[in-house]
Amino acid sequence: MSIKHILFDNDGTIVDSEIIGARIMLKLLAQHGLHMEERIYNMRFPGLLTRDIIIALQQEEGFIAPANFIQQIRDEHLAGFHRSLRAIRGMPALFRSLKVPKSMVSNGSIQHVEKCLRMVRLRSSLDGFIFSAEQVDKPKPFPDVYLFALEKLGLSAHETLVIEDSVTGILAAKSAGIQSVGFLGAAHIHDGHGQMLWDAGADFVVADAEGLTMLLKKKGAV
């Protein structure tokens, strides 16, 4: 059956934001005594909510977050995004050229996704909806937000295709029964990440927007 709707993750798939968030987090962690390599951080925590990353660091590294740590992160994110946020190379042209509707499905808030799309001038090209983990009980890697999207769109899993950059997102899509494409075009992606996406259950893995365009052409979506 042909694809009727494409479900895009936002951070690290449309906008090159994961690298900004990672570097902000690493800077703040170092200020509080926890030093970690960027590559190691990106391998361990792609696609996770900030609160879950902090919990993991508390449990695994003994990190003690100061009371205002979340607010520090938010303030730094706001400044960093306004200064540095860009669309991933080639993705705006692809996003605008799709023949089928597309929606966003993110662990980030609706407000965050809205802001990202507006900053890279893609909000007017979104002909579907923004679905967020804030609308469901559990974020990715649980399937809740994808199942919620399917319900609201009135579509079955085999009528959609997910584009994700993280193991977290691929696991969520797989648990929801949706075919998924692992995307490697963002700046935070490290060697070996593609194999991690295959291992998580990705049905396809593409290196960049060009590779994704070729795949979607074969599926009649471009």
What residue ranges in 43-184 does DSSP mark as E strands? 102-106, 130-132, 160-164, 179-183
Whole-angstrom Cα distance, residue 204 to residue 194?
A: 10
In angstroms, what CA-CA distances link 48 with 3, 127, 143? 28, 26, 14
What domains sit in the chain, N to C, each tagged with a CATH number? 5-17+86-218 (3.40.50.1000), 18-84 (1.10.150.240)
pTM: predicted TM-score of the whole model, two decimal places = 0.86
Q: Give the 3-state secondary structure percentages of the chain, helix then strand then coil, rounded to 5.
A: 50, 15, 35
Yes or no: say if 16 and 85 are a contact pair by the CB < 8 Å rule: yes
Q: How close are the terminal C-alpha atoms of the chain, in Å?
A: 16
Percentage of the chain modeled with pLDDT above 90: 82
Q: Report helix angle 50-61 to 69-84, nearest 10.
A: 130
Peptide bond into 141 cis (omega under 30): yes
Q: What is the separation of C-alpha 44 from the centre of its chain, rounded to a whole number of angstroms?
A: 15
Closest listed residue to residue 178, CA positions, set 45, 15, 5: 5
Beta bridge partners of 160: 5
The H-or-E segment that residue 196 falls in is: helix 193-200
- Alpha helix locations (H) across 46-109? 50-61, 69-84, 91-97
Q: In this structure, what is the dihedral angle of CA atoms 13, 145, 204, 124, given to the nearest 10 degrees?
A: -40
Dihedral sign, CA of 178, 181, 182, 187? negative
Confidence at residue 1, expressed as pLDDT on a 0 to 100 scale: 59
pLDDT tens-digit series, residues 2-14: 899 999 999 999 9
Reading the chain (222 residues) residue by residue, the pLDDT tens digits are 589 999 999 999 999 998 898 899 999 999 999 999 998 898 888 777 888 999 999 999 999 989 999 999 989 988 888 888 999 999 999 999 999 999 999 999 999 999 999 999 999 999 999 999 999 999 999 999 999 999 999 999 999 999 999 999 999 999 999 999 999 999 999 889 999 999 999 999 999 999 999 999 999 999
Tens digits of residue pLDDT in 115-163: 999 999 999 999 999 999 999 999 999 999 999 999 999 999 999 999 9
